[in-house]
Amino acid sequence: MARQPLIAKRAEELLGSSVVATAPVAGGDIATATRLRLSSGQTALMKTLPHAPEGFFESEAAGLAWLSEVDGGLPLPEVLAAASDCLILAWIEPSSKTPVEAAVAFGQQLATTHAAGADGWGLDHDGYIGRLPLPNKTAGSWAEFYAVRRVLPYLKLARDRAAITDGDAAAVEAVVGRFTELIPDEAPARLHGDLWNGNCVWGHDLALHVIDPAAYGGHREVDLAMLHLFGLTHLPRVMAAYDEAYPLADGWEDRLGLHQLFPLLVHACMFGGSYGARAGTIAARYL
């Protein structure tokens, strides 16, 4: 590992510890990631983004802290420092091993985090999902919150960016009107909020860790729908352990598509491609 002076200096200002070496970390689509070796012997990950949106890193740090309040919940990186221009986390050493035991434990830990609950739908501050703002102002029901804070804002943005056709957008709008009858009531769960496989790290400690949350209080099927949308090694074992620890309402598998509309529209806004069409196709199944 070499030493990038500007990165090292900023980390030292925030940590009060000398940075011995730095190294770039591949894989981040939004922020630049740098591995730090500290004089204390600890290894850390520093995320930086020039001209980051207001509250970008602070909201991630707050989400990690909120999720970390749950004893026996999801394994998360410790926040070492957060500022307007960067976030420094304890390093998670990745592994190529994906043991079934870790998947089973992860299912139980996810259930524990969800069951810890939230004070209401949303959160006391807005956040981000990717680079996009994530509105978290509360609403009277999950159906209302999911419609006006999750699906409809990104549907509008996808339309504005020509990332969804009029026909597919009409299908999404039509199914929004059926959320109340299609989605059963549950108490708000404590959600990771961006739980796709790219944010799940199989660690050298043989645990499955999660990173990069977009945390808020929501319906727990949102996290589960995102896991199913993008896949995860040993997902059936994860789900079996989850359901045993915190049984799901009947028909949850049939509802996965409803809660996949949100991440599909977010991806349509960010990346274009076929995501808008996939959202329209899924929405049409419920009409």
Q: Angle at CA 104, nearest 5°, toward 102 and 107?
A: 110
The answer on 47 and 154 residing in a single domain is no
What range does the domain containing 19 cover? 5-90
The answer on 85 and 60 residing in a single domain is yes
Beta bridge partners of 32: 48
The answer on 109 and 84 residing in a single domain is no
Question: What's the DSSP call for residue 140?
Answer: S
- The reported pLDDT for the residue numbered 205 is 95
Q: d(Cα 133, Cα 130) in Å, to the nearest integer?
A: 8
- The reported pLDDT for the residue numbered 1 is 59
Q: Per residue in 72-126, pLDDT tens? A: 999 999 999 999 999 999 999 999 999 999 999 999 999 999 999 999 999 999 9
Q: Is residue 180 part of a domain?
A: yes
Packing angle between helix 252-271 and helix 166-176, nearest 10 degrees?
140
The answer on 115 and 64 residing in a single domain is no
The answer on 149 and 260 residing in a single domain is yes
Q: What is the pTM of this model?
A: 0.95
The answer on 35 and 13 residing in a single domain is yes
The answer on 127 and 78 residing in a single domain is no
- The reported pLDDT for the residue numbered 268 is 98
Q: d(Cα 252, Cα 245) in Å, to the nearest integer?
A: 15
Task: Indicate which CATH number applies to the domain containing 13.
Answer: 3.30.200.20
User: Where a domain ends, among 40, 70, 90?
Assistant: 90
Q: Is residue 49 part of a domain?
A: yes
The answer on 275 and 136 residing in a single domain is yes
User: Where a domain ends, among 90, 111, 144?
Assistant: 90
- The reported pLDDT for the residue numbered 29 is 75
Q: Is residue 70 part of a domain?
A: yes
User: Where a domain ends, among 90, 110, 126?
Assistant: 90
The answer on 113 and 28 residing in a single domain is no
Domain count within the chain: 2
Which residues of the chain are modeled with pLDDT < 50? Answer: none
The answer on 254 and 198 residing in a single domain is yes
- The reported pLDDT for the residue numbered 30 is 86
The answer on 116 and 180 residing in a single domain is yes
The answer on 158 and 185 residing in a single domain is yes
List active site positions. Answer: 194
Q: d(Cα 218, Cα 186) in Å, to the nearest integer?
A: 9
Task: Indicate which CATH number applies to the domain containing 218.
Answer: 3.90.1200.10
Q: Is residue 95 part of a domain?
A: no
Q: Is residue 77 part of a domain?
A: yes
- The reported pLDDT for the residue numbered 27 is 72
- Interstrand relation of 208-210 and 132-134 (parallel, antiparallel or unpaired): unpaired
Q: Is residue 202 part of a domain?
A: yes
Q: Report which secondary-structure segment, H or E, holds 191.
A: strand 189-191
